[in-house]
Amino acid sequence: MQPTATVLVYSDDASTREQVRLATGRRPAPDLPQVEFVECATLPAVLSALEAGGIDVCVLDGEAVPAGGMGVSRQIKDEIFRCPPVLLLIGRPQDAWLATWSRADAAVTHPIDPVEFAEALAGLLRTRLAIEA
């Protein structure tokens, strides 16, 4: 098992980024490595972090402004070679179809339910780490 997994968290709202960190804890599941976070508040920061490499999963806030996580997800899926899986935070369950449009790999509603979020993140990390192994 690799020593750490790196999760990019994009939101213009610092409290949303904090909720993601708290819901994840040190690791989202016992069989996964500890998580390190790369926090981004702007689209250019997201693109720069992804270009630098080393990101295992992206958590994007669908309600972020001015660049919402849904549009960011679609953009990075088109532009980033071997784009990491995307977990999208959506405002309402009815927005799930938009998450599909954005090519997100998973979606959870905001406010974040820690159990639901950790399960979704763990699933994406397992998939990503299995591919890299």
In sequence order, the β-bridge partners of residue 35 are: 5
**Mean pLDDT value across residues 26-50:** 97
- Res 24: pLDDT: 97
Q: Compute φ and ψ for 4, nearest 5 degrees.
A: -145, 160
**Mean pLDDT value across residues 12-26:** 97
Mean pLDDT of all residues in the chain? Answer: 95
5 has a pLDDT exceeding 60: yes
Confidence band for 130, pLDDT divided at 50, 70 and 90: confident
3-state SS, residue 62: coil
Q: Which residues contact 40 (CB under 8 A, 6 or more apart)?
A: 8, 9, 10, 46, 49
Number of Cβ within a 10 Å radius of residue 3: 7
Phi-psi category of residue 5: left, alpha or beta, with phi > 0 → left and psi -120 to 50 → alpha: beta
Q: What is the token pair recorded at 16?
A: 């949303």
Q: In this structure, is the dihedral angle defined by the CA atoms of residues 90, 95, 98 and 104, taken in order, positive or negative? A: positive
Least trusted range by pLDDT, from 7-11, 53-57, 82-86, 93-97: 93-97
pLDDT tens-digit map of 42-92? 999 999 999 999 999 999 999 999 999 999 999 999 999 999 999 999 999
- Res 112: pLDDT: 95
CA dist., res. 38 & res. 33, Å (int): 16
- Res 49: pLDDT: 98
In sequence order, the β-bridge partners of residue 5 are: 35
Q: Where are the alpha helices (DSSP H) in the chain?
A: 14-24, 43-52, 69-79, 96-101, 114-132
